[in-house]
Amino acid sequence: LLDDFLLNGLGQGAIYAFIALGYTMVYGIIRLINFAHGEVVMVGAYAGYFVLEGSPLTGVPAFLVAILAGGLASGVLAVLIERLAYRPVRRAGRIAALMTAVGVSLLLQNLALRCFGATPRPCPDALGLGAEGNKLLVFGMLVALAPVLRWLVLGTRTGRAMRAVSEDADAARLMGIPTDRVIAATFFLGAVVAGVGGVMLAATYGVVQHDLGFLPGMKAFVAAVIGGIGSIPGALVGGLVLGLLEALLPFFLRSAGWDEAFAWKDAIAFAFLILVLVVRPTGLLGRPERVKV
Amino acid sequence: VSTALLTLAVDLGPTGLWWTHLLVMVGIYAVLGLSLNLINGYGGMFSLGHHGLFAIGAYVAASVTNAGLGDVPGPLLFLVSAAAGTLAAAAGGLAIGLPCLRLRGDYLAVATLGFAEIVRILIQNLPKGVFGGSEGLNVPRVLMEVTPDTRGDFRLLWAALVIVVVALTALVVRNVVRSARGRALLAVAQDETAAGLLGIDVTRSKVMAFVLGSAGAGLAGALYAHYQGKLLPGDFEFPVMVSILLVVVLGGLGSITGCIVAALVLRYVEQVLQLQGQDDLPLGAIELPAAVGPWLREWWLVVYALILVLLMIFRPHGLFGSRELPDLLRALRRAPRAKGSAA
């Protein structure tokens, strides 16, 4: 029985990690909580759903094309959001940027509500793995993704440029790094990963709906904070920690005699967020940010 | 048990009923906006948990009303429950503010949003006897029974009540901002480190603003509970937060009259849109052309979000900025003359 919960925790945690990566990369580079990230996930999930539902493909090819479509749709959307909404307010201060992000989130969610309707749509399970199999799969995908990401950020020119912009955007620009393009690339990369997470989210739970990204998005943010926002390994660790915590803590609480523990798992996650923020705002793997006068 | 103060049985007609209802909703959102302005505008913090504090005020006021029903005279019970809702929200603000206000802007936003989510889950998941769960919680009428005969009286009473509350809230915000503590708060909002070096107790300033703002949200919640007569957990979800935020942003971060005007404009648009496509609109409710009206009614939330985004891009400090309505009028009157003298 504990195995089931462990698997649940790892699968859910891997999905959180997929989404958290985008949060942490964007935060790392422009210090913005991309509030619309959950909606980017939702759009990716819908793109995957339309491929699975509408294309003649079946089985593994259908799954691969859905993953690709989900990632691409999310990536393109994130670049558009960055170009049209975030870039104009980048110099207007963090609160203006954050409010813009809240607005974009609401915009996308309601746009999806109007375009796709309020009723959740059943999403086909292309590989026929069932919820359990998909959880195992998404965890496996995360394990495979980690070295790729590491190479992208540490081993490529773009990755080096990203780290430079994250360190000091103005200095990076003076060194001839096209900061705008690097920031757009960061949004794209984070959103592609998140879109894949969105397709897996839809596959695991078997439904797509307009607000599918909101709560997982917020939870993934919690995961990013737990791991230390701005840190890529932190997002992976934080996602898994949060997933396991959400699955195992209610399990133990229920064993201890509290029958309704599972209805409270969201509250547990947010209480944990507040706890982490209070005790260690930089998270498990984050660097403290210096306050300059 | 009729606890009505007086029964005039005024017939307001559809126009009067519509306008008084609009006025009450404007008032509730003005109080929410003014109190959030203390936190997000003057205080330079960024809270996304105002809807949670609004919910605390509403549910605590409703519970107190239910508990005291029959034993306490209606008007007294109303006052006591409103005070309880206000205090409970202030306590909630203190509970979340003390640990979290050390956090910088965006962390605070997420911590407060998490807090509001916890409040919502609490209301929904606690046993039905506590806050009614997802079936909702009834709030007995203690000021006046609402029957078809007294509907006009009820709305008039509430419109008057809400105007008084908004005026008092505006006065409190103005006085707080002008006081020594308020000026300290403005300094903290500008530059925390510099304010701290000048000897201002940064945390204390922020906590004061946050707790006062929370109390305002609680007061608005208590008004909402008594006016609506029934509370549902869905009334306090994230879109409500965005509505409050839009009141503050549209009006201007740090403008009292701006907040009130923005609440008026936004509620008016929302109420008018709900009427589109119907016959016999109340007097003063603009009827949009048939091609636009129903469409806009459907797509309103999309347009609403778009307004927020465009506003942040083109006027990040809101329409009024930190100015007040009289300042703006004076500036408008002076503008042509200034041009003349320059030439």
ipTM attached to this prediction = 0.84
Residues of B in contact with A103 (CB under 8 A): 242, 305-306, 308-309, 312
**Considering only CB atoms, which residues of chain A are within 8 Å of chain B?**
31-33, 85, 88-89, 92-100, 102-104, 106-107, 110-111, 113-114, 214, 218, 221-222, 225, 260, 263-264, 266-267, 270-271, 273-274, 277-278, 281, 291, 293
- pLDDT attached to residue A41: 95
Confidence at residue A205, expressed as pLDDT on a 0 to 100 scale? 85
Contact A107 B309 (CB under 8 A): yes
* Window from A252-261, B123-132, B188-197, B254-263 with minimum mean pLDDT: A252-261
Contact residues, chain A, for B125 at CB < 8 Å: 260, 263-264, 267
- Output DSSP code: residue A55: S
Q: Is B138 helix (H, G, I), strand (E, B) or coil?
A: strand
pLDDT at B221 over 90: yes
Cα B18 vs. chain centroid, distance in angstroms? Answer: 19
A21-80 pLDDT per residue, tens: 998 999 888 888 888 999 999 999 999 999 988 888 777 888 899 999 999 999 999 999
Query: What is the average pLDDT across A173-184?
Result: 92
A293, B105: Cβ pair inside 8 Å? Answer: no
Q: Work out whether the CA dihedral B255, B260, B261, B267 comes out positive or negative.
A: positive
Which residues make beta-bridge pairs with A121? A208
Quick check: helix, strand or coil at residue B231? Answer: strand
Instruction: From chain A, pick out residues whose CB is under 8 angstroms from the CB of B306.
Output: 103, 107
Whether the pLDDT of residue A125 is over 70: the answer is yes
Q: Do A218 and B46 touch (CB under 8 A)?
A: no
pTM, 2 dp: 0.87
List the single best residue of B240, B300, B312 to mutate versus A (max A Cβ within 10 A): B312
Q: List the one residue out of B134, B127, B92 whose CA is nearest residue B233.
A: B134
Give how far A89 is from chain B: nearest CA, Å.
Answer: 6
* Cα of B194 vs its chain's centroid, Å: 32
B chain contacts of residue A222, beta-carbon cutoff 8 Å: 110, 114
Whether B9 shows a pLDDT value over 80: the answer reads no
CA nearest to B249 within chain A = A99
More confident residue, B277 or A123: A123
Q: Which of B114, B298, B316 sits opposite A270 (nearest CB)?
A: B114
Q: What are phi and psi of B34, to 5 degrees?
A: -60, -40
Specify the pLDDT at position B342: 45
Could you report the per-residue pLDDT of B20-57, keeping only the tens digit for each?
899 999 999 999 999 999 998 888 888 999 999 999 99
- CB contact set of B210 (below 8 Å; sequence gap of 6+): B39, B43, B45, B47, B93, B94, B97, B101
Q: Which residues of B touch A24 (CB under 8 A)?
A: none
B110/A89 Cβ within 8 A:
no
Helix or strand or coil: residue B277? coil
Output the pLDDT for position A270: 87
Q: How far apart are CA B20 and CA B267, in angstroms?
A: 12
Q: Number of residue pairs across A and B with CB atoms under 8 Å?
A: 119
Assess whether pLDDT exceeds 50 at residue A187. Answer: yes
pLDDT at B260: 92
Q: Distance (Å) from the C-alpha of residue B72 to the closest C-alpha of chain A? A: 36
